[in-house]
Structures are given as C-alpha cells and as structure tokens.
Amino acid sequence: MLCLKNHISLNETLLLRAFKVHDLGEVLTKRDVLVQNKIDHLDLEEYLVFVDAFSHLRKEVFYQFKLAFLLQFARKNPNCFPEDTRIAMKYLTENFMYEAIVFEALESWEYIFYPLKAFQNGTDKLLLTRFLKNQIPRLQKFAEELPGFREEVFTRKFETWAVSHIRTYPV
C-alpha cells in the first residue's frame, strides 16, 4: 500500500481498518469460503453477523468500522444488502474508489503467498499454476485501473514470470 502512495492519494486509515476487519464476518460465522465460491448471500450473512457483534460501539465509531468492513463489497454493491448499507457502499465508491480498488487488488495479490510457498516446498507443484491462471486476469485488470499497481506490485517482470510458470507447469 505504501508504494502506491507515490502514484495516488489514499485514505490509509480506511484501508488499514478494512484490512483489519474484513475477515471478521468469516470468523464470526466460523466459515471461510474460497473466493471463487463466494456468493452475495454469504457476504450478506457475514455483514449481518459483523453488525450484530459490533453495533454496540458508539455510533460514530461503529460507522467508521462499518465503512471499513463494507469497503470489500463496495464496488460490487450487492442488491441483497439492506438499502442503507447499499447507500454506504455507494458513498464509498463515490468518495473512496481507489481505496476500494486497492483493497481488492492487494487481497487478490496476497493470495499468491500460500501457493507460492507450497510450490517452493514441493508440497503442491500445481496449486501455484491454478492460482496464477485464475488471478492473472484480475491482476491485469487492476494494473489498468489502479495507478502504480503495474509499476510497484504486478510488474511486467512478475507477469512474464507467471506466464512462464504456467507454461512450464501446466495443469
């Protein structure tokens, strides 16, 4: 996130809060769903559990954490969410679009570490290939949308390595 500051202005407080609270719904529901299996109603359930657990906070404090939690859903803004929540997500995309993109991009980026470690350890040689095939298109999209992402995170050098890896270790 810090390397992107050279390219765009970001609300770091919102982003740091979002990274801290975004998985609390999974913790509270005791369910972690793979990204490719996520559906809007499961996201809504996680949000409602989050609200139930933290709405006792002072109104102003809760609102800030609510916005941080919703940042992960803001660009999608699922129809199944309550209207007031959808308004909050619209507020986020209108005022903190880069933060919403950064959140999605860095969350997608951090998914690489587990399959990379498994590949390096020799415990799963194909997991990294499957990950890269799934995530490269998303990372390419983020590189187009997000100033600095191509230069600082998803570099051409990394993309070339990833494509070469997929050719070398086909699934």
Q: How far apart are CA 99 and CA 16, in angstroms?
A: 10
| Coil, strand or helix at 82 | coil
Pair of tokens at residue 8: 């765009």
- Model pLDDT for residues 148-166, shown as the tens digit of each residue: 999 999 999 999 999 999 9
pLDDT digits (tens, 9 = 90+) for 126-139: 999 999 999 999 99
Torsion of CA 36, 42, 43, 44, to 10 degrees: 160
The string of pLDDT tens digits covering residues 97-144 is: 999 999 999 999 998 999 999 999 999 989 999 999 999 999 999 999
Cα angle 53-17-144, degrees, rounded to a multiple of 5: 125
What pTM value is reported for the model?
0.91
59, amino acid identity: K
